[in-house]
Amino acid sequence: MTVEPTPSVREAHLAELGHETGRPLHVGGLSAEELARRFGTPLYAYDARVLRERFQRVREALGGRVEISYALKANPLVALAELLRREGARAEVASAGEIHAALAAGFEGPEIQFAGPGKSREEIELSVEHGLARLNLESPAEYEVIASVARERGLRQGVAVRVNPERAVAARMHMGGGSQKFGVDVDQVEGLTRRILDEDVVELEGLHVYGGTQCFDAGSWLRNAKALLELAARLEDLHGRPLRELNFGGGFGIGYYEGDPTFDLGAAGEGLRALHEEDARPERAYHVELGRYLVATCGVYLTRVLYTKRSAGRTIAVVDGGMHHHAAAAGLGSIMRRSFPLVACHDVEGSGDPSGVGGPLCTPADEFCGAAALPEPSSGDLLAVLASGAYGLTFSTAQFLSHPTPAEVLVEGDVPLLARERGRPEEPLRLQRWTRGRGRP
Ligand SMILES: Cc1ncc(COP(=O)(O)O)c(C=O)c1O
């Protein structure tokens, strides 16, 4: 199993976008500058070709036995989810909002599964109403609510038990292993599955595991999958009942920082095939649920330089976008603040002295990177944060300072589809009540 260093993360992302050296940055057949002129900045732009090719590459590598779900939390833009559905994906959701997004994208209830440690009764009711394929339940207490809703409605809801694995996966952000709000500890799974089978109110479909995000070690990911398979075999022996589905989760890593390794997709695929053979259960369904690995590389975040200034020997570009739209690129969720790959759209290969790139928010956290080696920035320049398709707007502090949300555009060849309109400055007032002035009482 190889964990190879990426020669240049920036080059790899540019290559995937089809960038040709010396040309201004393009998304699909349109220049970033043209997109920015037509739709304004800040702007998220996604290349449909890149997304489609990514999905098909994953599908080919993992083989026909594996169902791939798109984890909408990575980017709940309906147009992206719809494209992935047409390519053959199913959907994994984590809230009522994401259920609605998945339905709007054309997924049928039985193509959708729901994971998340804090599903409310309303969300469970909505899931049951729409006949969601499976609720991946994360605690005995949650099981009780699901069972109560199923009894009330007289419907047999499919469930899988999300297992909190004994061994953590080698991921940058763990969501399994040790004491966790996620999943059911391995030593409690037998008791819970016994109870589900004895009470016979919901349908126990199988097991689920999700170890964490930004995993670059396919071997570690596969060990986690194998442990789930072994647990399934033990439970089947104990209960004398087959488990029809195993969901191995997602979390395949994407490089953002120079020196980041590359996730070995081929090795993950080979390993999964070997597991299927070892399992020797042709009737069993295997799932993975991927977010970042599918959508990260098709997206760029475009932001324009408003002003430049010199401060303490450094040029600082103040841009119109920031952490309210792209918190991850400003370091949220990372232990160490490092630069996301950032380029000047008119001079993609250009570099210069390190400059600061700061957004309009009144916090020093609103800086894209401490030391971007961009060509000397000028006011009006368009900058692009690469690999911005996943955990962008959805992972951001969008309400801080009440700026409008950016437009989002899906580019198909040279045809742009406005997938989300730019927000309006008065929108922060929506849903508010106040008693004075022209507000609603
Ligand atoms: C349960 C579950 N499934 C899937 C995902 C998607 O992970 P990734 O985008 O790293 O593939 C997450 C991310 O947090 C998750 O919590």
Q: Which of 123, 121, 93 is nearest to 105 (CA)?
A: 93
Q: If pLDDT is split at 50, 70 and 90, which confidence band does 371 have?
A: low
Quote the mean pLDDT of the chain.
93
Ligand 1 pocket check for 75: Cβ under 6 Å: no
| Residues 13/247/62/254 CA torsion (nearest 10 deg) | 10
Residue 385, pLDDT score: 96
Ligand 1 pocket check for 289: Cβ under 6 Å: yes
Q: If pLDDT is split at 50, 70 and 90, which confidence band does 5 have?
A: very low
Q: If pLDDT is split at 50, 70 and 90, which confidence band does 170 have?
A: confident
Q: Is the peptide bond before 42 cis (omega within 30 degrees of 0)?
A: yes
Q: Above 50 in pLDDT, residue 2?
A: no
CB 80 within 8 A of CB 410: yes
Ligand 1 pocket check for 254: Cβ under 6 Å: no
Atom of ligand 1 nearest to the CA of 251: 10
Cα separation of the two ends of the chain: 63
By DSSP bridging, strand 26-27 and strand 382-385 are unpaired
CB 391 within 8 A of CB 325: no
Three-state secondary structure of 57-73: HHHHHHCCCEEEEEEHH
Ligand 1 pocket check for 92: Cβ under 6 Å: yes
Atom of ligand 1 nearest to the CA of 215: 10
* pLDDT tens for each residue of 222-276: 999 999 999 999 999 999 999 999 999 999 999 998 889 999 999 999 999 999 9
The DSSP secondary structure of 13-53, one letter per residue, reads HHHHTT--TTSPPEETTEEHHHHHHHH-SSEEEEEHHHHHH
What tokens appear for 349 in the block? 């290969």
Q: Above 60 in pLDDT, residue 23?
A: yes
Ligand 1 pocket check for 71: Cβ under 6 Å: yes
428 φψ region: left (φ > 0), alpha (ψ -120 to 50), beta (else)? alpha
Residue 437, pLDDT score: 64
Q: Where are the alpha helices (DSSP H) in 130-167?
A: 140-153
Of residues 340 and 85, more confidently modeled:
85
How far is it, in rounded angstroms, from Cα 82 to Cα 106?
A: 7
Q: If pLDDT is split at 50, 70 and 90, which confidence band does 7 have?
A: low
Instruction: Kindly report the pTM of this predicted structure.
Output: 0.95
CB 423 within 8 A of CB 405: yes
Using only C-alpha atoms, the chain has a radius of gyration, in whole angstroms, of 23
Reported in sequence order, the residue ranges of 348-406 that DSSP labels E, i.e. its strands, are 355-358, 367-372, 382-385
- Taking the centre of ligand 1 as the mean of its atom positions, its distance from the CA of residue 167, in whole angstroms, is 18
How far is it, in rounded angstroms, from Cα 65 to Cα 67?
A: 7
Ligand 1 pocket check for 133: Cβ under 6 Å: no
How far is it, in rounded angstroms, from Cα 141 to Cα 148?
A: 11
DSSP conformational letter for 308: E
Q: Above 80 in pLDDT, residue 6?
A: no
Ligand 1 pocket check for 249: Cβ under 6 Å: yes
Helix (H, G, I), strand (E, B) or coil at 362: coil
- CA dihedral sign, ordered 127, 133, 138, 142: positive
Ligand 1 pocket check for 291: Cβ under 6 Å: yes
- Taking the centre of ligand 1 as the mean of its atom positions, its distance from the CA of residue 234, in whole angstroms, is 26
Mutate to test the pocket of ligand 1, among 69, 161, 210 (most ligand atoms within 8 A of CB): 210
Q: Which of 169, 324, 343 is nearest to 253 (CA)?
A: 169
* pLDDT tens for each residue of 306-318: 999 999 988 999 9
Atom of ligand 1 nearest to the CA of 290: 11
* pLDDT tens for each residue of 121-163: 999 999 999 999 999 999 999 999 999 999 999 999 999 999 9
The residue whose CA has the least distance to atom 13 of ligand 1 is 213
Ligand 1 pocket check for 174: Cβ under 6 Å: no
How far is it, in rounded angstroms, from Cα 75 to Cα 92?
A: 12
Q: Above 50 in pLDDT, residue 341?
A: yes
The DSSP secondary structure of 190-239, one letter per residue, reads HHHHHHHHHH-SSEEEEEE---EEEE--HHHHHHHHHHHHHHHHHHHHHH
- Taking the centre of ligand 1 as the mean of its atom positions, its distance from the CA of residue 203, in whole angstroms, is 24
Atom of ligand 1 nearest to the CA of 175: 16
Ligand 1 pocket check for 74: Cβ under 6 Å: yes
- φ, ψ of residue 362 to 5 degrees: the values are -90, 60
Percent of the chain with pLDDT over 70: 96
